[in-house]
């Protein structure tokens, strides 16, 4: 009988581990980057210029561009800031809180696309420059999820969850927004401040803890 109990326990443990593996997702760190509108590309690179794709990102259709630009704030600047494509309806600049101190701007934490009332910033490409009057944000940490994975995890679009990230400095992140779309691949995105806080490495996984 005791043998059987032990076997049951082992089976239970294995099932739990498999479930955990299935429900977990890769966590990726996003460095500071810029999304540009068509008008911004025209202003910074010339009328009709097409950005050059160099690498696909984990989210389908999203990519890293070859072109880099300079970001200028009242106190500091960043050169060689990566542009992510494709073009968007509105320009958006995503920085970490550490970056925001260096720029000398108080930057609010926002979900991507929610840029009403956010500060602007100056973008420079060689001789050309563009002053954005809004669009500078610290991206709210989030999980991109397919509808299938959302169902498995019992979460809905817009839900706020806690995520345990198992890494060198394992951490439970609170206030993580779940974004569900059939256009997404399931990945969690945090910025470099957050990645360093948990000792993130390539392949680090997270799991929703209720």
The site for Zn ion (CB under 5 A) is made up of: 189
CB of 79 to Zn ion, least distance (A): 24
State which residue, 74 or 158, has the beta carbon closest to Zn ion: 158
Per the CB < 8 A criterion, the answer to whether 209 and 172 are in contact is yes
State which residue, 32 or 189, has the beta carbon closest to Zn ion: 189
State which residue, 74 or 113, has the beta carbon closest to Zn ion: 113
Tokens for 127, please give them.
């001789």
Compute the CA torsion angle 129, 134, 138, 140 (nearest 10 deg): -140
CB of 131 to Zn ion, least distance (A): 26
CB of 143 to Zn ion, least distance (A): 8
Maximum CA pair distance of the chain?
80
Chain position whose Cβ is nearest to Zn ion? 189
| Residues paired with residue 209 on neighbouring β-strands, in sequence order | 162
State which residue, 84 or 121, has the beta carbon closest to Zn ion: 84
Angstrom distances, CA of residue 198 to CA of 24, 26, 43, 169, 192: 16, 14, 39, 5, 10
CB of 114 to Zn ion, least distance (A): 13
CB of 30 to Zn ion, least distance (A): 7
Per the CB < 8 A criterion, the answer to whether 93 and 78 are in contact is no
State which residue, 78 or 184, has the beta carbon closest to Zn ion: 184
Helix (H, G, I), strand (E, B) or coil at 120: coil
Cα–Cα distance for residue pair 57/62, rounded to 1 Å: 5
| Residues paired with residue 85 on neighbouring β-strands, in sequence order | 63
């Amino acid at each position: 009988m005791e043998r059987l109990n032990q076997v049951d326990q082992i089976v239970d443990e294995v099932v739990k581990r498999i479930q955990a593996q299935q429900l977990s997702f890769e966590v990726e760190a996003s460095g500071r980057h810029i999304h540009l509108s068509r008008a911004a590309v025209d202003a910074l690179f010339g009328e009709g210029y097409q950005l050059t794709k160099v690498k696909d990102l984990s989210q389908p259709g999203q990519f890293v561009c070859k072109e880099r630009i300079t970001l200028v704030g009242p106190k500091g600047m960043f050169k060689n800031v990566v542009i992510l494509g494709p073009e968007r309806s509105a320009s958006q600049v995503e920085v970490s809180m550490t970056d925001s101190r260096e720029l000398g701007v108080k930057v609010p934490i926002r979900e991507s696309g929610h840029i009403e009332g956010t500060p602007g910033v100056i973008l420079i490409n060689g001789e050309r420059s563009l002053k954005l009057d809004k669009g500078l944000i610290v991206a709210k940490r989030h999980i991109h999820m397919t509808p299938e994975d959302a169902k498995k995890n019992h979460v809905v679009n817009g839900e706020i969850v806690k995520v345990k990230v198992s890494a060198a400095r394992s951490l439970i992140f609170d206030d993580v927004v779940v974004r569900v779309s059939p256009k997404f691949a399931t990945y969690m995105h945090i910025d470099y401040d957050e990645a360093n806080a948990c000792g993130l490495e390539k392949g680090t996984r997270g799991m929703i803890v209720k």
